[in-house]
Amino acid sequence: MKKFFYKLTAIIIAVIMLLPLGFEVFGEENGPVPEQNSFGVAEGSLNLNCKSAILMEATTGRILYSQNAEEALPPASVTKVMTLLLVMEAIDAGTIRVDDTVSISANAASMGGSQVFLEEGEQMCVEDLLKSVVIASANDAAVALAEYVSGSVDAFVAKMNAKAAELGMTATKFENVTGLDDTAENHLISAKDIALMSCELVKHPLILQYSSIWMDTIRDGAFGLTNTNRLVRFYKGCTGLKTGSTSKAGFCVSATAERDGLSLVCVIMGAESRDIRNAAATTLLDWGFANFALFKEEAGTSEPISVKGSAVREVTGSYPAFSCVVRREELSKIEKNVTLTENIVAPTPVGEKIGIVSFRCGEKEIGSVDICTETEIKRISFWEILCQVFAKSLLI
């Protein structure tokens, strides 16, 4: 009897010790609770057929969806988003112009992969080189532009990495301007970082003039260009931006599209084929446009506020434009509330906060902007007070 009791006790203890393991196993079968973004969308819930993906609103940088978006991966020719960004900045700064003539170096002419077959010593304008990079993903044209902007590819790559740091691209290392990765062991970037630099690039309207072109020519019509991004032709609202593919990177794209004022950047990395990549981008963009909208409020001016201790009796304030991404069904429910201080006591500097404009959807505040003075308000002097008293006395 004692032996049976001892055995039973041992069994009960063993079961108790195994219970936590059992619960842990069941938990693994059910899977961990996925991370969610601020809209309550679970990480990777769309199950896109790729290694990594992200959907970002272009004007606010708001992340709407992500799937392994922070892993550093080979980006192939999507690298050229940064190449193009630095070229656009050089154009805006006036250091180069689109009608400048570039003499092609032996180094640029030697580039393999996608190319427009530049020859050493050939002369081509910046605009045609830009079109070659954006539309045809030409590696030789990308190198030619980098050398023209910075003097050498190495100097340009250093600028690429500096710009990446400036934009907060924490999972990025550029080793070249093309994305060719046969010898580039650590040329890596995350989908999130690609979205960040893509949002920065589309701030330059000129780039969209090229990236939205389906077919064009260079060399006075002698050489045809067809966009590597088929979404430009087949997806409604697509404005660009850049595709890429190598055996190491798989098929990648940073696709930009706009509908009803909502601008989206969709990044797909590591798809197994061009069609799978395009299907994943289409799915993600469709989902974004179906579920989200951009709320916008223009800049404005407040009602007058009384001023104490100044020759100025009242003053108005101004507030900047406001925009944010909301769920589409919330767009018509957003309310604007203006709160102003009762009065201002002089002196106050320019930009003094005198109120706030807040935006709410039900009980949830979605954002706010400050109302500030546009001019300095000086305290009234003794002589100004005396003059006012004297003026009033004359009216009696």
CA separation for the pair 95, 102 (Å, rounded): 13
381 assigned to active site: no
Q: Of 378, 370, 308, which Cα lies nearest the Cα of 348?
A: 378
Catalytic residue among 80, 163, 192, 242: 80
Q: What are phi and psi of 369, to 5 degrees?
A: -135, 150
190 assigned to active site: no
80 assigned to active site: yes
Catalytic residue among 114, 137, 198, 254: 137
CA separation for the pair 4, 309 (Å, rounded): 95
The residue assigned the tokens 């060399």 is 219
CB neighbourhood size of 233 (10 A): 12
CA separation for the pair 220, 12 (Å, rounded): 87
Q: What are phi and psi of 222, to 5 degrees?
A: -80, -20
The answer to whether the CB of 143 falls within 8 A of the CB of 154 is no
Q: List b or e across 131-159, with b for residues whose CB sees 16 or more CB atoms inside 10 angstroms.
A: bbbbbbbbbbbbbbbbbbbbeebeebbeb
Catalytic residue among 51, 52, 66, 77: 77
Q: Which residues are catalytic?
A: 77, 80, 137
